[in-house]
Structure 1
Amino acid sequence: MRSWIWTLILLAVAVALALTVNEHSGNVIILAQPWRVELSLPLAIVLGILAFLVFHWLLRLLHWMSNSPGRFRNWRGRRAQRRDIELLERGWINELEGRYVQAEKELSKLLSRTRSTDRKVLAGLSAARALHLLGEYSRRDQTLQLAQESAGEDGRLRQAVDVVTAEMYLDQNRAEEALELLEPLQETSTRFLHANRLCLRAHRQLGHHRQVYQLTRLLLRRSAIDETQAKAFIAESAAHQLDVVEAKDWSGLWGDLQADERLSPEVALAGARAQLRFGRPAESARILEAALNRGLDDRLLRAYAQCDANQARQRLGHAELWLKSNPDHPGLLAALGQLCLAAQLWGQGAHYLERSLDLRADIHIHALLGNLHDALGHPEQALSHWRKACEAADSELPLIQRPLPAADTRGDPDFMRHETESFDVLRAEDDRLPVQVPEAASGVYLPDTPEDNHPAPQVKADKARPARPVPGPEDDYFDTAPIPGVDMSLTSDHSRSK
């Protein structure tokens, strides 16, 4: 649009100039002794315009020639920039595709060639990330040091280096070193959300539950963390704090929790344990009852059933209300049976425990039934349930069907040392004798099969000592001590000694 406007202006000036020259005819005389030049007015105007244009283009040519070094430098800079961008793009693409070796080569080349501070730091951090994923931590640390030196005094670049370094440290569970880098960023601005997330991760690794609780609250208010994950972190950290809270700090910690957070099974269990620690069993029961009213949980039910006889009957009333809506809940039935045992209601307790056992057989129910029969004076039934509880505790334990044979102490190397030395002397004289291996008390000797089919020559027994019997299949197992409760007169060792 501007070119059209200028074109119209030039046409208007040309028309006006032509009309003016046409109406005012005359001559232009140029005197330069000893020359005298006389021109018509139109020709003088045309020559003046041409002279102006030629002089203008000459000045522009001189300016272009004088700026050639600068243009050459700019051209080289643009070429280097295109090269850096190509290397950076290829390195990032390879890193995103998982080709970390190729990515590290491209980014290291960019780190050594580029003159741009921003691209040098970016290339160093990207190359360090690739080396970190390759597990080459020493080279990674060297690359991070180069990136830190390249950042200089630029605060923004130094923050980027610190954040990336801290994230890599957290991957190695070096949370303390990561916190040293992140805490200055967190103090600078609470809106540095990524640094806050990394701080949260570091505090979780170190078990700083109070800091985890505070940071999770902060990130949840800023919508910088998943709500489900945040609730899990809050429940975990609050439960750990409740386990060690003092009575004077209880109100502040419990009051800071929201209503739905108090009903979490982890928080409710920790709160109930804290109240029991303070000597307030009634308050502990109210916390558990509020959580159980929202949903039955086996951990809460088991904790609710652990009480003395004074509170057992009151808790039975609440538990029977839950039984109306959940008649086939095995954990609730087991809790009712345990409460009945605490209240010494033996028949009703047996009824609840048997119903629970029909639905789910586990160690807890068998142990309760064992205690019930033991209290009723039924030792055989109590022992049966306790044995089943042990089997349910670890079903992979081997069951010993018969006692093992006792150890043959005569096979101990200390007892057979002199006999072995005499046999070695005989074998040195005759290489055809079989290899004699002393029997250890905790091992089994299996003789090697001869290479040929001919039987090996027998060694004559020493007259001073009776010959040892050849071990049989029943002697394949040896132990270092007799088994308690086994009659040693019936073992194979004593039978041979006789």
Structure 2
Amino acid sequence: MKGLLIALGMLVVAVIVALGGAGDNGYVVVGRGDWVLQLSLSLFALALVVVVALLYGLARLAALVWGMPGAVRALIKAKRQGRSRRGLNRGLAALTEGRWGEAERRLADGALDSEVPLLNWLGAARAAEGLGVPERRDRYLHLAHASVPSAELAVGITQAEFQLAGDRLEQALATLLQLREKAPDNSQVIHSLVKLLRRMGEWQRLVELLPAWRASKGTDQTEADALEAEAWGHLLWATEDVSAAKQSWSRIPPKMQRRESLTALYAELLLGAELDDEAESLLGDAVERKWGEALVYLYGRAQGAHPARQLERAEGWLSKHGQEPALLQALGRVCMRGRLWGKARDYLQASIAARPEAETYQVLVELLEQINEHVSAAKYAREGLAHVVQHRSASQPSHDQPTPAAAGEGCRLSDCSLPGPGMSW
């Protein structure tokens, strides 16, 4: 199209020159030595246009010939890249579908001609990991880094994922810590570190990392709160004595101290060290701040130095929580310590009526034995035993429906860790 326009332009110029010189008798004389050439002005102008056109055409032809090898190379490269692009698409599809062998072959074969070799090599590494061939996997990771040296972070994160999948936790930790030195604010590295430290039970390191995780993009703050409470709970539980427990408790942020699970755990440690007055005060304040059944239960177990004052405080909760079995049981225990046998019996029987529990039956039987009502004690002992047998029969898993543990499913923290029944971190 461009050549046609040039030819038309030359034709127009030639016509204009010819028409312009039709009535003009001017001429042009060119001489060299004994040779003399005389042309009319219009013919000379036309010849000049033709010569310029020929020179232009020769120049274009020379440029075309000169650039032909490059054009051929570009054509071949484009063809290879097109084939590599199709191989990348098919390889990624095979990788997603778990066809590891096909994925590795397509992605590795097309990597050298790929416009995005990093994707090819990383995909081939994942396929080799799926095939269980660590030598090829590591070679592909090395080639991925060599193809795009600036993508060290992406290659490192992928390598850490493989190490985690293979339970090489120490290696994964070393890899992620090295990556964090180079990219301290990278959210993916921080998130992977958080998961790894939780899996390894490195609770102190996890607590130190949590502020960075909270500040990173996309962090669920509710999840972060639960994880921080879990970490502090394990640190508290691992203390060797009550002095260490108090020191650990003082390091816990006030927001975390107000969580029911941590308050209950610390109170249990105090009760175990026979620091009942401290536990009673802690639990009473916590219950009045936010009702929690586990806290009320532990409040009833606390053998404070002033049972009457403890009873008065607990009975103040009856107006809002008078039908709570845990409160009724706690009141029964406190009344027993105050030797208020009648009130203790009434509270314990009311607790059983609201929700029969083996422990409440046991406390009631102990009370009745103390006041020499052996017949009633035997009666409630039989009822308690029947309740335990019935409860165990009802909760026994069916042979046709395996439990989550048998099915290989992970339990939730609230089902398998430190907080008591009905509580989560």
* Short-chain TM bin: 0.7 to 0.9
Task: Give 2:232's aligned residue.
Answer: 238
- Conserved 8 A contact 1:212-1:237: yes
- Conserved 8 A contact 2:263-2:283: yes
Amino acid at match of 1:57: G
Amino acid at match of 2:51: A
Task: Give 2:85's aligned residue.
Answer: 85
Quote the Cα distance in structure 2 between the aligned partners of 1:149 and 1:255.
Answer: 44
Q: CA deviation at 1:107?
A: 4.4
Task: Give 2:413's aligned residue.
Answer: none
Quote the Cα distance in structure 2 between the aligned partners of 1:312 and 1:244.
Answer: 31
Task: Give 1:61's aligned residue.
Answer: 61
Task: Name whichever structure is richer in helix by fraction.
Answer: 2
Quote the Cα distance in structure 1 between the aligned partners of 2:266 and 2:21.
Answer: 106
Choose which of 278, 281, 290 in structure 1 pairs with 2:285.
Answer: 290
Task: Give 1:327's aligned residue.
Answer: 322
Quote the Cα distance in structure 2 between the aligned partners of 1:330 and 1:373.
Answer: 19
Q: CA deviation at 1:326?
A: 1.0
- Conserved 8 A contact 2:107-2:124: no
Judged with a 3 Å threshold, the aligned counterparts in structure 2 of structure 1 residues 290 and 170 are, in CA distance, closer, same or farther, namely farther
- Conserved 8 A contact 1:338-1:368: yes
- Conserved 8 A contact 1:338-1:349: yes
Task: Give 1:382's aligned residue.
Answer: 377
Task: Give 2:203's aligned residue.
Answer: 209
Quote the Cα distance in structure 2 between the aligned partners of 1:119 and 1:251.
Answer: 54
- Conserved 8 A contact 2:91-2:107: no
Task: Give 1:161's aligned residue.
Answer: 155
Per-residue CA distance 1:181-214 (angstroms, 9 max, x = gap)? 1111112222111011010000001111122223
Judged with a 3 Å threshold, the aligned counterparts in structure 2 of structure 1 residues 382 and 249 are, in CA distance, closer, same or farther, namely closer
TM-score w.r.t. length of structure 1: 0.67
Quote the Cα distance in structure 2 between the aligned partners of 1:383 and 1:168.
Answer: 62
Asked if residue 229 in structure 1 is aligned to residue 227 in structure 2, the reply is: no
Quote the Cα distance in structure 2 between the aligned partners of 1:131 and 1:387.
Answer: 64
Quote the Cα distance in structure 2 between the aligned partners of 1:396 and 1:326.
Answer: 26
Task: Give 2:396's aligned residue.
Answer: none
TM-score w.r.t. length of structure 2: 0.77
- Conserved 8 A contact 1:239-1:270: yes
Amino acid at match of 2:152: R
Q: CA deviation at 1:254?
A: 3.7
Asked if residue 178 in structure 1 is aligned to residue 176 in structure 2, the reply is: no
Q: CA deviation at 1:180?
A: 1.7
Q: CA deviation at 1:165?
A: 2.5
Amino acid at match of 1:235: A
Choose which of 111, 114, 122 in structure 2 pairs with 1:125.
Answer: 122
Identity %: 22
Task: Give 2:401's aligned residue.
Answer: none
Asked if residue 115 in structure 1 is aligned to residue 115 in structure 2, the reply is: no
Per-residue CA distance 1:131-172 (angstroms, 9 max, x = gap)? 65x5x4x22x23421222203455433322221232233345
Amino acid at match of 1:85: R
Task: Give 2:142's aligned residue.
Answer: 149
- Conserved 8 A contact 1:121-1:148: no
- Conserved 8 A contact 1:353-1:369: yes
Per-residue CA distance 1:325-369 (angstroms, 9 max, x = gap)? 011111111111122223332211111110010011112211111
Task: Give 1:187's aligned residue.
Answer: 181
- Conserved 8 A contact 1:167-1:178: yes
Judged with a 3 Å threshold, the aligned counterparts in structure 2 of structure 1 residues 270 and 150 are, in CA distance, closer, same or farther, namely same
- Conserved 8 A contact 1:87-1:106: no
Amino acid at match of 1:190: P
Amino acid at match of 2:150: R
Instruction: Tell me whether 270-279 or 62-71 shows the greater mean CA deviation.
Output: 270-279
1:9-88 to structure 2, matched below 5 A, reads: 26-33=26-33, 35-88=35-88
Quote the Cα distance in structure 1 between the aligned partners of 2:275 and 2:362.
Answer: 28
Task: Give 1:105's aligned residue.
Answer: 102
SS of residue paired to 1:100: coil
Asked if residue 348 in structure 1 is aligned to residue 346 in structure 2, the reply is: no
SS of residue paired to 1:224: coil
Q: Across the two proteins, how many residue pairs are aligned to each other?
A: 383
Per-residue CA distance 1:287-344 (angstroms, 9 max, x = gap)? 3233323443332222222222514333322221222101111111111112222333
* Ranges in structure 1 where 5+ consecutive residues have no aligned partner: 1-9, 399-498
Task: Give 1:484's aligned residue.
Answer: none
Quote the Cα distance in structure 1 between the aligned partners of 2:114 and 2:86.
Answer: 17
Per-residue CA distance 1:216-261 (angstroms, 9 max, x = gap)? 33222234321221111011111222234574795686465243x3
Task: Give 1:454's aligned residue.
Answer: none
Q: CA deviation at 1:55?
A: 1.3
Choose which of 353, 369, 372 in structure 1 pairs with 2:367.
Answer: 372
SS of residue paired to 1:114: coil
Judged with a 3 Å threshold, the aligned counterparts in structure 2 of structure 1 residues 359 and 66 are, in CA distance, closer, same or farther, namely same
Quote the Cα distance in structure 1 between the aligned partners of 2:20 and 2:257.
Answer: 98
Q: CA deviation at 1:389?
A: 4.2
Asked if residue 308 in structure 1 is aligned to residue 306 in structure 2, the reply is: no
- Conserved 8 A contact 1:220-1:227: yes
Judged with a 3 Å threshold, the aligned counterparts in structure 2 of structure 1 residues 49 and 272 are, in CA distance, closer, same or farther, namely farther
SS of residue paired to 2:316: helix
